[in-house]
Chains A and B, each alone.
Chain A
Amino acid sequence: MTTRTLKTLLAATALTGIAAGAVSAEDVDYGNFDGYTLRVKLIGGAQYEPLYARISEWEEMTGATVDVLSRKNHFELDREIKQDIAAGTLDWCVGSNHTSFAPQYGTIYTDLNGLIGEATLAEFQELALQNSTVDGRLVQLPRHSDISNLFYKKSLYADEDNKAAFKAEYGYDLAPPETFDQFKDQAIFFADAPSFYGTQYVGKDEAITGRFYEMLVANGGQLFDENWEPTFNSEAGVEAVQWFKDLYDAQAVPAGVLNYLWDDTGLGFASGTVAMNLDWAGWASFFNDPANSKVAGDIGLVRAPKGSGGLRSGWSGSHSFSITEGCDNKDAAASFVTFLTNHDSQMIEATAGLLPTRAKVWDDAKAKFAADGNDFLVEVFDTYAQSMAEDAFTPPLIAPWIEVSNEIWPRLQSAILGEMTAQEALDEAADAARIVMEDAGYL
């Protein structure tokens, strides 16, 4: 089947859809690729797997077979893809991708504009598509988005003793934090190490760089100036680092927090020993499930706090699918990624709390939660919809981002542990980042 036919079909389907008032997967013709084997490399992990159960449906529909070459976490997948680039073994068609990682892969992925029908693309949120574009090329089809908001243990805030004690100590009423300063006060107030902690943060890798970055922006700072000169060693940057350090010094976070990644913070909050948790919506269902979580039924949610610059932190990105430039059957690949990001697919992921990238799925998922009587997920979607619309921003979409991040995070750790001051750590990281940017040709 040619691209043109697929496009026409998709466009036609979309038109029918509009006429009918709803686009559903059944209306779309995904083509016929009888006997073709599509080779793919996908991100693995508990939160990503449920979608892959649908692959067999696509196989049945199109007659093609999907050969999953690897299913790894994103950091391992990233290494594998880099090895493929180096070895010239990009002999597969579809790969999982992410906003933060996409720019470093250069031109190995094809431009989806023209390959995937305009009508289909129009169903996606504009911002999500914009963030999937590198150097003017749409190199990824966004699957679901992430951004963090603040989960908290409701009962702590309802407790009269807590209210009185907090007011006496800090001089303002105890309510879920609106700013990072309040966040810090309350985390320190609730903490009672080693049995209970105010909050937890991810402490290494791109995870803590991302947190630092979003707080830097919320404090009114920027990573680079318009000439790509590193500027994160500013007052706003120091303030952000100091926030991490103050919490660490006050033992409001576990001492091992610098080794924590997303699983640790999520499981920590679910264990009921943490008061507040800034995290993505992917955990929402898990947190509220009594089988997994001790805080089920006791969870409040507010938007991420504001920094001293008056902005909310809104580090965001999307998990996505990309198609290689050298793919031997791009139409089949396009059909496959379209299927895995269609309305029904996104509904499956949304049920777990993953944020859809199709505008309509937001409403449909919310309606479904309301019908099921799941008020918590309705609240989750309302809160995250607002932050996706108003607060979201990505890291700089440049090839050396991960490398710059690798210069920043060890220095953040040094500052938090008190081996150097926040200013020294950021100055050193800025110098190292400048060399990376010079080598990459930006300076």
Chain B
Amino acid sequence: MQTKRPPFWQREKYTPYLLLLPAILTILFVVLLPLIFSFYTSFTGYRLIRPESLWQWVGLRNYERIFGDDDFWAAFVRTIVFLTIALNLEFLLGLGIALLINKITWGQRTLRTIMMFPMMFSPILVGYQFKFVFNDNIGILNNALESLGLSDGAIPWLVDTYLANFAIIFAEVWMSTSVFAILLLAGLFAMPRDPIEAAKVDGCNAWQVFRHITLPFLMPFVFIAMTIRSLDVARAYDIVDVMTGGGPAGRTELLWTLIARTGYDNARMGQANAMGYISIILSIAFTYYFFTKLIASRRYMGGAD
């Protein structure tokens, strides 16, 4: 007697898909559909305040305009520079902090918790805090410098091209260095002691141990932290918006302050989405680069491909 085959959703080979279905549906609705929708709108003259403009197909006009827009490309390049400087500074400082904390034997937990404090603030609050610190007239920094006799004039921290970008990077680094520190600290904790002891027995000095054992071992952690932070920093908005709003004269304009102004204040959502899609290239490039480095560093350590 032939047994009747169960309906297909009860067959074993479909079970995994069935179980994954809720996740797949969620991702479809929460991620994919909005992506397709926003991609579509980047080819329209969609303006938030004119819902009917959603159907106004303009082809590649939004993209053509962006390619000819110097302000956009200036913001694009500025974002790359900003990203590069901020990530490297955070990496160096985070590494330093992780190594120092790793040496401590007493009170380490407390220090680890204290180290996380900056991450607990909302970026908007961090922005306001540093806006006040760097204010040229009533700010703490200028007043301190004047009181100490180190400066005799009001330094325009948030106006000068270099100083303004420095101030924003400083705020960003202050808030997020602990992300690096925590991830690298986790790496240090997971590190086997044997190679280090073997190296010491073989007569390596501290620098050689760090350079050839600790650092290569930490690199996979570094690149994971870099990937996460590069996506964060590429979306930097709150701090910049509060501190300078991308100004003055566009000197601190990053991609997302420009895109938010285009999309919301000017209500040109179609064009803003086109800018968003070009900006995604930047994030994809950084992510791809860091993942390649991650795989390379794991291979170097004899890890799995």
Contact = CB atoms under 8 A, between A and B. Distances in A.
A410 B265 contact: no
A135 to B, nearest CB: 15
B249 A419 contact: yes
Interface string B136-171: 111000100010000001111111000000000000
Contacts of B247: 204, 258-259, 410, 413
B157 A256 contact: yes
Interface stretch (A79-87, A155-163, A278-286, A378-386): A79-87
Nearest to B50: A106
A258 B243 CA distance: 12
Contact of B51 (A88, A105, A203, A273): A88
B177 interface: no
Interface string B120-139: 00000000000100011110
A419 B71 CA distance: 14
Contacts of B142: 194
Contacts of A104: 49, 267
A405 to B, nearest CB: 9
Contacts of A399: 49
Contacts of B51: 85-86, 88
Interface string A131-175: 000000000000000000000000000000000000000000000
B244 A79 contact: no
A82 to B, nearest CB: 4
Q: Which of A82, A105, A203, A259 has the most CB of B within 10 A?
A: A259
B116 interface: no
B154 A402 contact: no
B136 A254 contact: yes
Nearest to B271: A439
B34 interface: no
Contact of A406 (B157, B248, B266): B266
Chain B interface secondary structure, helix, strand, loop or mixed?
A: loop
B133 to A, nearest CB: 12
B259 interface: no
A63 interface: no
Given A86-B51, A106-B50, A256 B267 contact: no
B240 to A, nearest CB: 12
B159 A417 contact: yes
B269 interface: yes
Contacts of A86: 48-49, 51, 269
Contact of B266 (A254, A403, A414, A416): A403
A367 interface: no
A259 B249 contact: no
Contact of B48 (A82, A204, A268): A82
B126 to A, nearest CB: 17
Given A410-B247, A413-B248, A402 B266 contact: yes
B112 interface: no
A83 B48 contact: yes
B118 interface: no
B276 interface: no
Contacts of B135: 256
Interface residues of A, number: 37
B264 interface: yes
Given A85-B48, A86-B48, A259 B158 contact: yes
A255 interface: yes
Nearest to A81: B49
A271 interface: yes
B78 interface: no
Contacts of A417: 159, 248-249
A410 B156 contact: no
B250 interface: yes
B298 interface: no
Contacts of A203: 248
Contact of A204 (B154, B245, B266): B245
Contact of B146 (A88, A194, A204): A194
A205 interface: yes
Interface in A246-269: 254-256, 258-259, 268
A259 B248 contact: yes
Nearest to B260: A79
Q: Which of B136, B137, B244 has the most CB of A within 10 A?
A: B137
Interface string B161-203: 0000000000000000000000000000000000000000000
Contacts of B265: 75, 78-79, 402-403, 406
B293 interface: no
B35 to A, nearest CB: 17
A273 B137 CA distance: 10
A85 B54 CA distance: 12
B261 interface: yes
Contacts of B146: 194
Nearest to A205: B245
A197 B265 CA distance: 32
Contacts of A416: 248-249
A193 interface: yes
Contacts of B243: 259
A73 to B, nearest CB: 13
B137 A254 contact: yes
Nearest to A88: B51
A256 B48 contact: no
Contacts of B245: 204-205, 259
B171 to A, nearest CB: 14
Contact of B136 (A105, A256, A406): A256
A387 B156 CA distance: 35
A82 B154 CA distance: 40
Interface string A186-208: 00000001100100000111000
Interface in B226-245: 243-245
Interface string A401-443: 0110010001101101101000000000000000000010000
A306 B142 CA distance: 36
Nearest to B138: A271
Interface of B: 45, 48-51, 131, 135-138, 142, 146, 153-159, 243-245, 247-250, 261, 264-269
23 contacts: A78-B265, A82-B49, A85-B49, A86-B51, A105-B49, A106-B49, A194-B136, A194-B142, A203-B248, A204-B248, A256-B136, A256-B156, A256-B157, A256-B158, A259-B159, A259-B247, A259-B248, A273-B137, A399-B49, A406-B265, A410-B247, A410-B249, A417-B248
Given A106-B50, A411-B249, 11 more contacts: A82-B267, A83-B48, A255-B136, A255-B159, A258-B249, A259-B158, A259-B243, A259-B247, A403-B267, A410-B250, A416-B249
Closest 5 CB pairs of A and B: A255-B156, A194-B154, A258-B248, A256-B136, A413-B249
